[in-house]
Amino acid sequence: MAVRLELVEASSGFATAIYERLPYALVVVDEQGSVLAANEAAVEMGWGAREAGPPTACHEMFACRAAGGPCHHECLVQRASRTGETLPEIRVDTLPGSRVSAVWVTTTPLGLDTGVLLHLRPGDARDRRRRSDPHWISGPELTIKALGRIRVDSREGPLGGNWLQQRPGQVLKYLICERDRVVQAEEIAEALWPSSGREALSSVRHFIHGLRDRLEPGRSPRGGTPFIITVRGGYAINRRHVRIDADTFTEAARDGLDAAERGEARAAAERLELALSLYRGDLLADEPYAEWAMVERDRLRTMATDSLRALTRIAMASGDHASVIANLERLTEFEPFDSDVHRALCSALLATGRRSEAMRRYATFRARLAKEFRARPGFELRSLQPRR
């Protein structure tokens, strides 16, 4: 027992010596960031020798709470305490008047309610190296723009390249179309490569692995990814960490259409205009002939046309002729062969005195119908002339 006590005392002495003599700054704070202790290197860095007095909390030293800073979403100290894990090193800019413009910080929970250790190395706020490994600060996140040609962005920047047109990219696009459910490997193989037989099925796992590598470059080969998850042997996009513009569009369009149904014109217009600003084009426009995309593409397109029709009715009720015409012009792009839409547009143009434009629109519509269907418009332009 005496030997064990001597070892404990020796270990304690070693720890004290290391703490005091380590050339890098060590600061111990509690879960609220209040400073409990700082070694000599930390004092030399400014933790005990500022004109305003030594900082009593870590945020008095760091410019970490500013928008875009590492503590904008959650305090590093509180995150380490909550997770019980050491956080990856990150560069944090310091406040004006500090002896260094930035520091590299590693945050380690000490456990047993003894606080959190900050390991600090001098840095430079002008350092162009990225602040940290991707995503860990506020959780992994991808943004996918699927309306129009697909675009994938991480917090570190765009994840573009030829892979989006190759098989890993096709798998991603299929999962986007089926994002509300778990998709089995057999379904992916049958939808994307129906004539490849068992060979395609055995390759799905390989393409999923390749997709994960593309979405999270530099990940551990054996590690998982938060973006594409495996559930009951199938695969799905993790909507907690992946934002898709089609979802944001759908939510805004539904809210706007519901508000219009209730007669809340102003709220409806705001939500519908937001929805239509997100609709850059049909879903996955770079896969125009993919049968597996058609159902979801048609659903979103119908929501867009319904939104335009609702906005047109709101504008008509308020006498906003310019918005009526703008909405109808866009609606004709969605419905190029709809006589009712073209009739409404020509009527609005004539009502505002834009006769030449109405004639050009009518002539173009008539020629298109004749070419495609050998048909004529269901109205005559002269019948739309406003009565005097």
146-156 pLDDT tens trace: 999 999 998 77
**86 falls in which pLDDT band (50, 70, 90)?**
confident
Q: Would you state the structure tokens that stand for residue 287, as one six-digit string?
A: 């896969």
**1 falls in which pLDDT band (50, 70, 90)?**
very low
Q: Is the pLDDT of residue 39 over 60?
A: yes
**50 falls in which pLDDT band (50, 70, 90)?**
very low
Integer Cα distance of 193 and 364 in angstroms: 41
Give me the percent of the chain exceeding a pLDDT of 90: 50
CA distances to 223, 248, 278, 326 from 272, rounded to whole Å, are: 41, 12, 10, 14
Burial class (CB in 10 A: 0-12, 13-18, 19+), 252: buried
CB hemisphere CA count around 179 (13 angstroms)? 21
Higher pLDDT, 132 or 369: 369
Q: Is the pLDDT of residue 131 over 60?
A: no
Instruction: Taking residues 67-80, report their average pLDDT.
Output: 69
CA distances to 90, 137, 175 from 132, rounded to whole Å, are: 5, 8, 29
Integer Cα distance of 112 and 183 in angstroms: 44
Integer Cα distance of 176 and 239 in angstroms: 10
Q: Would you state the structure tokens that stand for residue 215, as one six-digit string?
A: 């979405």
368 neighbors 375 (Cβ within 8 angstroms): no
Integer Cα distance of 27 and 229 in angstroms: 38
pLDDT at site 349: 94
Residue 238: CB partners within 8 Å, gap ≥ 6? 226, 227, 228, 229
Q: What is the DSSP letter of 43?
A: I
- Looking up tokens 């945020």, which residue turns up? 59
**63 falls in which pLDDT band (50, 70, 90)?**
low
Closest CA to 237 of 149, 158, 173, 293: 173
pLDDT in tens, 266-319: 999 999 999 999 999 999 999 999 999 999 999 999 999 999 999 999 999 999
The chain-wide mean pLDDT, for the chain, equals 83
Q: How many CB atoms lie within 10 A of CB 161?
A: 11
Higher pLDDT, 120 or 60: 120
Task: Compute CA 19 distance to the chain's CA centroid, rounded to the nearest angstrom.
Answer: 42
pLDDT at site 319: 93
pLDDT at site 197: 66
Integer Cα distance of 214 and 119 in angstroms: 32
Integer Cα distance of 47 and 39 in angstroms: 9
92 neighbors 98 (Cβ within 8 angstroms): no
Give me the percent of the chain exceeding a pLDDT of 70: 81
Residue 70: CB partners within 8 Å, gap ≥ 6? 64, 76, 90, 92, 131, 132, 137
281 neighbors 143 (Cβ within 8 angstroms): no
**10 falls in which pLDDT band (50, 70, 90)?**
very low
- Domains delineated in the chain: 21-123 (3.30.450.20), 142-292 (1.10.10.10)
Instruction: Taking residues 81-110, report their average pLDDT.
Output: 79
Burial class (CB in 10 A: 0-12, 13-18, 19+), 1: exposed
Instruction: Taking residues 2-11, report their average pLDDT.
Output: 42
Task: Compute CA 129 distance to the chain's CA centroid, rounded to the nearest angstrom.
Answer: 23
117 neighbors 28 (Cβ within 8 angstroms): yes
Q: Is the pLDDT of residue 210 over 60?
A: yes
3-class DSSP assignment, residue 283: strand
Higher pLDDT, 348 or 8: 348
Q: Is the pLDDT of residue 52 over 60?
A: no
